[in-house]
């Protein structure tokens, strides 16, 4: 098994702002696994919130590849070994897990969702995300999301949150998901805002308070008129049991939990605990989005719009019909890098790099 990787630059169509930070472009990693004439692809979107950087992901790759061993057909055992060989670095782990499942699907000649037994017709419609913006800009952004059944609005916990909601409500009555990204730090304030938002047609709230405020979140859950979903609070499948006391649902991202296998386990555990389920994403190309979309038939909510927010997706487009991601008949994850972009990337061999260092 041979593995190599390249850095890819993703430019956003608009500046993207959340409660913590904002950016115009992202640098993700693409990885390739070659074995027996078949090549599988994966993507890492390292995130500072989880102690990751492009550099830390690149440094983790050789260690993770070593743990994966030489036979991708043994993925069940190998991915478990990889997950435990070092702490954190969910994005780098996710890239290798995705590449392995893309390889497996191509090796078996089947799309991944079919291997899992999922009905492609059951993918819920995706939401369209609006980053934090001035009210006038928010109205402009909302135009791009007109065709989606609901919008996801980022709030910052600052003094302009209600202005952003009111601006949106002046142009659309689409149901809203509100993602606070840990922005509210006071329990009473959080509860006041949630009651106000419930009156504005908001249907659920994501991560209202910091992950560290677990006790407050447990107090908030029984008082909240809207379902509360964990995002930053959830970084590993094992978190679910504890989180069921503080949240009604979970937003699972491949980049947080370390890939498709761990995401599937997390979602299964959440379903067993009768929690609602959502699949989310970071700013990712269509490759990372397709990897998550292969699990989408098992969830209640889909927030997989990371590639729609880009000025250009380096992968051939995942098609949307009525805001529903159309799972491909192609083997593996179902998408590939555009040939011109694939050939421009500077692929670096991991094995060769290991010898040099
Ligand atoms: Mg979120």
346: domain CATH number is 3.30.390.10
Mean pLDDT for the stretch of residues 327-352? 92
Asked whether residue 137 falls in the same domain as residue 67, the answer is no
Q: What is the pLDDT of residue 351?
A: 67
Q: How far is the CA of 352 from the centre of ligand 1 (A)?
A: 38
Q: How far is the CA of 50 from the centre of ligand 1 (A)?
A: 13
Q: How far is the CA of 2 from the centre of ligand 1 (A)?
A: 34
Q: How far is the CA of 176 from the centre of ligand 1 (A)?
A: 14
Q: How far is the CA of 48 from the centre of ligand 1 (A)?
A: 14
- 192-222 burial, b if ≥16 CB within 10 A, otherwise e? ebbeebeeeebebbbbbbbbebeebbebbbe
Q: Is residue 332 part of a domain?
A: no
Q: How far is the CA of 351 from the centre of ligand 1 (A)?
A: 36
Q: Is residue 128 part of a domain?
A: yes
Asked whether residue 81 falls in the same domain as residue 212, the answer is no
| Protein residues within 5 Å, CB atom, of ion ligand 1 | 179, 206, 231
- 157 pLDDT more than 80: no
- 83-106 burial, b if ≥16 CB within 10 A, otherwise e? beeeeebbbbbbbbbbbbbbbbbb
Q: Is residue 100 part of a domain?
A: yes
Q: How far is the CA of 177 from the centre of ligand 1 (A)?
A: 10
Residues of the domain holding 10 = 2-110+337-356
Asked whether residue 118 falls in the same domain as residue 105, the answer is no
Give the pLDDT confidence of 174-216 residue by residue, as tens digits: 999 999 999 999 999 999 999 999 999 999 999 999 999 999 9
For residue 228, give the CATH number of its domain.
3.20.20.120
Distance (Å, rounded) from C-alpha 341 to C-alpha 286?
Answer: 13
- Cα distances (angstroms) measured from residue 271 to each of 164, 244, 279, 309: 33, 11, 13, 29
Q: Is residue 331 part of a domain?
A: no
Read off the pLDDT band of 353 (50, 70, 90). very low
Asked whether residue 151 falls in the same domain as residue 300, the answer is yes
pLDDT cut 90: percent of the chain above it: 83
Q: How far is the CA of 179 from the centre of ligand 1 (A)?
A: 5
Asked whether residue 131 falls in the same domain as residue 258, the answer is yes
Q: How far is the CA of 70 from the centre of ligand 1 (A)?
A: 36
Mean pLDDT for the stretch of residues 212-241? 96
| Residues sharing a CB contact under 8 Å with residue 304, sequence separation 6 or more, in sequence order | 126, 279, 280, 281, 289, 292, 293, 296, 325
Asked whether residue 165 falls in the same domain as residue 179, the answer is yes
Asked whether residue 296 falls in the same domain as residue 178, the answer is yes
Q: Please give the tally of structural domains in the chain.
A: 2
Mean pLDDT for the stretch of residues 141-152? 90
**140 alpha-carbon distance from chain centroid:** 25
Q: Is residue 221 part of a domain?
A: yes
- Range of lowest pLDDT (33-37, 62-66, 146-150, 245-249): 146-150
| Residues sharing a CB contact under 8 Å with residue 244, sequence separation 6 or more, in sequence order | 270, 273, 275
User: Per the confidence metrics, is the pTM higher than 0.85?
Assistant: yes
Q: How far is the CA of 126 from the centre of ligand 1 (A)?
A: 14
Asked whether residue 187 falls in the same domain as residue 266, the answer is yes
Pairing type for strands 249-253 and 228-230 reads parallel
- Range of lowest pLDDT (84-88, 90-94, 131-135, 239-243): 131-135
Sheet bearing 38-44, strands edge to edge = 38-44, 22-35, 2-17, 348-349
Give the pLDDT confidence of 276-325 residue by residue, as tens digits: 999 999 999 999 999 999 999 999 999 998 888 899 999 997 888 889 99
Q: Is residue 330 part of a domain?
A: no
Q: Is residue 17 part of a domain?
A: yes
Asked whether residue 175 falls in the same domain as residue 92, the answer is no
Mean pLDDT for the stretch of residues 4-32? 90
Q: How far is the CA of 206 from the centre of ligand 1 (A)?
A: 6
Asked whether residue 82 falls in the same domain as residue 152, the answer is no
Asked whether residue 275 falls in the same domain as residue 288, the answer is yes
Q: How far is the CA of 315 from the centre of ligand 1 (A)?
A: 24
Distance (Å, rounded) from C-alpha 290 to C-alpha 312?
Answer: 16
Q: What is the pLDDT of residue 357?
A: 43
Q: How far is the CA of 35 from the centre of ligand 1 (A)?
A: 36
Q: What is the pLDDT of residue 126?
A: 93
Q: How far is the CA of 353 from the centre of ligand 1 (A)?
A: 35
Asked whether residue 170 falls in the same domain as residue 226, the answer is yes
Q: What is the pLDDT of residue 138?
A: 86
């Amino acid at each position: 098994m041979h593995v190599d990787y390249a850095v890819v630059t993703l430019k956003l169509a608009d500046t993207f702002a959340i409660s913590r930070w904002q950016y115009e472009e992202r640098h993700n990693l693409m990885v390739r696994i070659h074995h027996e004439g078949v090549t599988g692809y994966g993507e890492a979107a390292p995130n500072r919130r989880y102690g990751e950087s492009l550099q830390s992901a690149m440094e983790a790759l050789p260690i993770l590849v070593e743990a994966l061993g030489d036979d991708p057909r043994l993925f069940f055992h190998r991915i478990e070994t990889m997950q435990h060989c070092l702490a954190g670095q969910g994005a780098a782990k996710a890239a290798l897990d995705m590449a392995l499942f893309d390889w497996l699907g191509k090796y078996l000649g089947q799309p991944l969702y079919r291997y899992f037994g999922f009905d492609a017709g059951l993918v819920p419609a995706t939401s369209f995300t609006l980053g934090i913006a001035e009210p006038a800009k928010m109205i402009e952004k909302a135009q791009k999301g007109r065709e989606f059944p609901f919008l996801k609005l980022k709030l910052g916990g600052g003094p302009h949150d209600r202005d952003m909601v009111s601006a949106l409500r002046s142009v659309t009555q689409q149901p809203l998901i509100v993602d606070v990204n840990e922005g509210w730090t006071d329990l009473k304030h959080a509860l006041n805002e949630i009651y106000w938002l419930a009156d504005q047609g908001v249907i659920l709230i994501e991560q209202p308070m910091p992950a560290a405020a677990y006790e407050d979140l447990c107090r908030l859950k029984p008082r909240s008129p809207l379902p509360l979903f964990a995002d930053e609070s959830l970084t590993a499948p094992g978190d679910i049991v504890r989180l069921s006391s503080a949240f009604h649902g979970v937003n699972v991202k491949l980049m947080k939990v370390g890939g498709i296998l761990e995401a599937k386990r997390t979602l299964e555990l959440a379903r067993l605990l009768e929690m609602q389920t959502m699949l989310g994403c970071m700013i990712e190309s269509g490759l990372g989005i397709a990897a998550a979309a292969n699990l989408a038939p098992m969830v209640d909510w889909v927030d997989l719009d990371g590639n729609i927010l880009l000025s250009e997706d380096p992968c051939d487009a995942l098609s949307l019909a009525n805001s529903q991601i159309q799972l491909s008949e192609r083997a593996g994850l179902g998408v590939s890098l555009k040939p011109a972009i694939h050939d421009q990337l500077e692929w670096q061999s991991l094995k060769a790099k290991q010898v040099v260092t």
